[in-house]
A = this chain, B = another copy of it.
Amino acid sequence: MDYEILELGNVVLQNGATIRNGRLAYKTFGTLNAAKDNVIVYPTWYSGQHTDNEWLVGEGRALDPARQFIIIPKMLGNGLSSSPSNTPEPCNGPRFPKVTAYDNVRVQHRLVTEKFGIERIRLVTGWSMGGLQTFHWGAMYPSMVERIAPFCGSAKCSRHNFVFLEGVKAALTADAAFAGGWYKTKPETGLRAMARVYAGWGFSQAFYREQLDIKAMGYSSLEDFLVSFWEGLFLPRDANNLLAMLWTWQNGDISANELYGGDLKKALNAITAKAYVMPGITDLYFPPEDSEFEVANMPNASFVPIRSIWGHFAGGPGLNPEDVAFIDGKLKELLAS
C-alpha cells in the first residue's frame, strides 16, 4: 500500500448522517520541517486517486518534495477513503451517506492539525473537484491558509455544470444492470455510456478539431480515444463511488454551511488567502466567466487563465507539457510571493 490511512472514528456529516469508523486515505511527499511552515495541501479530483495527482509533484517543481511537505488527501468516495465500495453494511453502496466538499475539507483539516500539528498552510491547490476543495479550504479556514491556487475548478457548482453531470448520471443509471446501485457485477454498459458522454465535455471543440487525441496523445483514431482513454478511465471505477462523488460535486458550494448561510459573495469575500484562480479558457464545465466572478468577489485574488485548447484537461492530469509548465510556473510565482 503506497498511502496512509487516518482513522476518523465517527464522522457526523453536514446532512446529519454518520460515517462510522471513517477513514481518510492520504499520501505525503517530502518532510515537514521543524517550523511546520512548508505545507502544501493538494486534494484529489473526481474519480482520481493520489497517483493521479503526482504529475505536478517532483524535483524542480513548485511542489518539490525536497523543500515542501505535500499532503494529498483523497476525497471521500474515491474508493480509498471511506466510500460506498469499502463501507460495511448497512451503509454501503447506494446507502453511503451524502458527503459535501465541506465534509471533505473538515476531515482533511483534522488530518493536518491532529495528525501533523500543522497550524499554517503555505498553499492549497488542486484541479477540478480538487479546486472545489481548495476554495473550501480558503473559505473555511481563512486564518490558516496563506495561498490558494484552484485550477479548472469553482467555488460553487454552476447550474450548467450541474446539468452536464445530470447527463453523466443518467447515462450510467440507464443501464438496468446498475439495479439502483445493488449490482452484483459491474454495470459495464452504463460505465461505458457515462465515459462516452464525458468525452465531449472533457476536451474542447478546438482540441478535437486539431485532432490532439491522435496527434498529441497518440491514439490511433477517434474511436480508439473514446474506448481506450475514456472508457478505460471509468471502467475500473465503482459505479456507486462515482455517483457519490458526483453528488459531492453537484452540491459543491463554499457558502452552503453555517459560516455563510448560502451567501456566495460573503464566502468568497472571506477568502483572505492570496489566490491565483486559474481557469482553462476552453474548459466547457468551468468557463472563465465563472472564475472572473469569483475573483471579483475575493479580496486578494488574481485571474490567471490557462491559455490552452485542452479544455478541462488543461488542468490535469499532466497530459499537455505546456499546460503543466504554465501551472507549475504560476505556483512557483505564487509561492514566492
Q: Is A141 an interface residue (CB 8 A)?
A: no
> Quick one: which of B163, B168, B169, B204 contacts A208, CB cutoff 8 A?
B163
> Quick one: which of B193, B203, B287 contacts A174, CB cutoff 8 A?
B193
> Quick one: which of B158, B162, B196, B206 contacts A289, CB cutoff 8 A?
B206
Main secondary structure of the interface of A (DSSP, over half): helix
Given A158-B208, A171-B174, A176-B175, residue A163 in contact with residue B287 (CB < 8 A): no
Q: Is A205 an interface residue (CB 8 A)?
A: yes
This chain: copies in complex: 2
**Contact residues in B for A170 (Cβ distance below 8 Å):** 171, 192-193, 196-197
Q: Which of A204-226 touch B at CB < 8 Å?
A: 204-209, 211, 222, 226
Q: Is A322 an interface residue (CB 8 A)?
A: no
Bound: A16/B249 CA distance, A: 48
**Contact residues in B for A290 (Cβ distance below 8 Å):** 205, 209
**Contact residues in B for A177 (Cβ distance below 8 Å):** 176
Q: Is A159 an interface residue (CB 8 A)?
A: yes
Give the nearest-CB partner of A198 in chain B: B167
Q: How large is the interface on A (under 10, 10 to 19, 20 to 34, 35 or more residues)?
A: 35 or more
Q: Is A200 an interface residue (CB 8 A)?
A: yes
Given A159-B211, A176-B175, residue A205 in contact with residue B289 (CB < 8 A): yes
Q: Which of A141-176 touch B at CB < 8 Å?
A: 158-160, 162-164, 166-176
Q: Is A190 an interface residue (CB 8 A)?
A: yes
> Quick one: which of B162, B200, B222, B289 contacts A164, CB cutoff 8 A?
B200
**Contact residues in B for A167 (Cβ distance below 8 Å):** 167, 171, 193, 196-200
Give the nearest-CB partner of A159 in chain B: B208
Q: Is A189 an interface residue (CB 8 A)?
A: yes
Chain B nearest Cβ from A287, distance in angstroms: 5
**Contact residues in B for A189 (Cβ distance below 8 Å):** 174, 176
Q: Is A105 an interface residue (CB 8 A)?
A: no
- Most chain B CB within 10 A, of A174, A199, A204, A284, is at A174
Report yes or no: B289 in contact with A163, Cβ–Cβ below 8 A. no
> Quick one: which of B166, B172, B199, B206 contacts A166, CB cutoff 8 A?
B199
Give the nearest-CB partner of A162 in chain B: B222
Bound: A290/B203 CA distance, A: 16
Report yes or no: A197 in contact with B211, Cβ–Cβ below 8 A. no
Bound: A198/B158 CA distance, A: 17
Bound: A205/B177 CA distance, A: 32
> Which 5 residue pairs spanning A and B have beta carbons closest together?
A167-B197, A170-B193, A160-B208, A164-B200, A174-B193
Given A197-B197, A205-B287, A284-B284, residue A190 in contact with residue B174 (CB < 8 A): yes
Bound: A206/B175 CA distance, A: 31
